[in-house]
Structure 1
């Protein structure tokens, strides 16, 4: 049998090398953050040379963007599909619950995506958000802002008496709860002394949906006076 030529072997390896670089970068970013990881670190972990990283992704920023796209593209599409169905629900209470479920459910489903990489990507998202890196911020905005605006608008349509700015705050809290639930399920078991299983995705989804719906339905805050106006009033007293 004829031996495969070196050029044929190189061509055959290219898709595998690209995948190896993505997996290595995702693992390193999820463990060490974005700032602390270099292109050389990624190449070494992938068994590649730094030129391979720049060949496939141009920059470290481009590599992070591709990681987000490959995970979040399917999740955002699924969220949009479920949101479209939820907005057709006539009863406002049922519609609100369906909207929240449309946001939460795909995040749990993605945990089994990409050969088990969903949990690792969830950890990466939490690390990126905590790190406050400017590049990560741009990537997150580019990946999620359109979908997030669609959900906020849909919730506001179901709760028109709640100012949109307050719905943004409550959506922000939902995102934090979602991250923490996915990243630290064992904490639920520990604090409940074993009465609850944090890794039970179905129960976690129901608990999160119920708590979030109640939070969205809470009365709006009385708006405080602007800071400068309060300061002037205090100066006169």
Structure 2
């Protein structure tokens, strides 16, 4: 080997900080078991930290949950708004409606390791906490998502002239429930289709959610007042 020859060494991925390891462990456990069923001691064990480190960094479990939301919701909302701005440039109302809905759905299906996209794992946490009716989660959700939710409702209203805004809110509420259920119980798709479709096929899931929601919203333009006739 020559004197000045550089020695190549394998790249070593930096280990996450204790704080990040605790957040990762808490998010994984809550995605599996919910908020109430997971203790700070279990989170400490799963993260490889001691209980004192958990309380030092976060104090109460509610603060830990708030931090999980904080590290996801800002980049998730930012990505949604970027996609929404692109969608709103589309002239055709039908194409714009599909793009608006997709801009809301897509970031929730990003890889669970992709914090910047929000992550499927985080959406599972949101779904399970919503089903638990957790008061702490409801406060955090309101602070994290209400502003962007209003922006999406406004964008959808612009695609459906004459639609009642309250009815749009209901249909968007149904979309969120479908989004949660798809990510939490995707294996049901596999069973009911006999394996012909997979709940893990996120591209197909996004497409189905977008078109089903668009069909539901288009119906409001016929109803006028947001109510279908019988």
Instruction: Say whether the fold is shared (TM-score over 0.5).
Output: yes
User: Residue 193 of structure 1: CA displacement?
Assistant: 1.8
User: Residue 114 of structure 1: CA displacement?
Assistant: 4.3
Q: 2:208 corresponds to which residue?
A: 207
User: Residue 55 of structure 1: CA displacement?
Assistant: 2.2
Which stretch shifts more, 132-141 or 155-164? 155-164
Q: 1:9 corresponds to which residue?
A: none
Q: 1:146 corresponds to which residue?
A: 147
Q: 2:3 corresponds to which residue?
A: none
Unaligned runs of 5+ in 2: 1-14
Q: 1:229 corresponds to which residue?
A: none
Deviations 1:143-191 (A, max 9, x none): 1111111101111122231111111110011011111222222221221
Q: Is the 8 A contact 1:27 1:120 kept in 2?
A: yes
Q: 1:160 corresponds to which residue?
A: 161
Q: Is the 8 A contact 1:75 1:110 kept in 2?
A: no
Residues 1-237 of structure 1 mapped to structure 2, 5 A cutoff: 16-114=17-115, 118-218=119-219, 219=223, 220-221=226-227
Unaligned runs of 5+ in 1: 1-13, 224-237
Which stretch shifts more, 87-96 or 180-189? 180-189
Which stretch shifts more, 118-127 or 204-213? 118-127
For 2:120 and 2:64, locate their aligned partners in 1 and report how far apart those are by CA, in whole Å: 19
Q: Is the 8 A contact 1:21 1:46 kept in 2?
A: yes
Which stretch shifts more, 179-188 or 205-214? 179-188
User: Residue 127 of structure 1: CA displacement?
Assistant: 0.9
Q: 1:187 to 1:211 in 2, by over 3 A?
A: same
Q: 1:80 to 1:18 in 2, by over 3 A?
A: same
User: Residue 112 of structure 1: CA displacement?
Assistant: 4.6
Q: Is the 8 A contact 2:157 2:163 kept in 1?
A: yes
Structure of greater Rg:
1
Report SS of the residue matched to 2:156.
helix
Report SS of the residue matched to 2:110.
helix
- How many residues are paired up? 210
Q: Is the 8 A contact 2:110 2:120 kept in 1?
A: no
For 1:146 and 1:110, locate their aligned partners in 2 and report how far apart those are by CA, in whole Å: 24
Deviations 1:104-141 (A, max 9, x none): 111112445149x9333222111110011110111111
For 2:115 and 2:18, locate their aligned partners in 1 and report how far apart those are by CA, in whole Å: 16
Q: Which has the higher helix share?
A: 1
Q: Is the 8 A contact 2:26 2:43 kept in 1?
A: yes
TM-score (norm 1): 0.80
Q: Is the 8 A contact 1:72 1:143 kept in 2?
A: yes
User: Residue 75 of structure 1: CA displacement?
Assistant: 1.7
For 1:21 and 1:112, locate their aligned partners in 2 and report how far apart those are by CA, in whole Å: 15
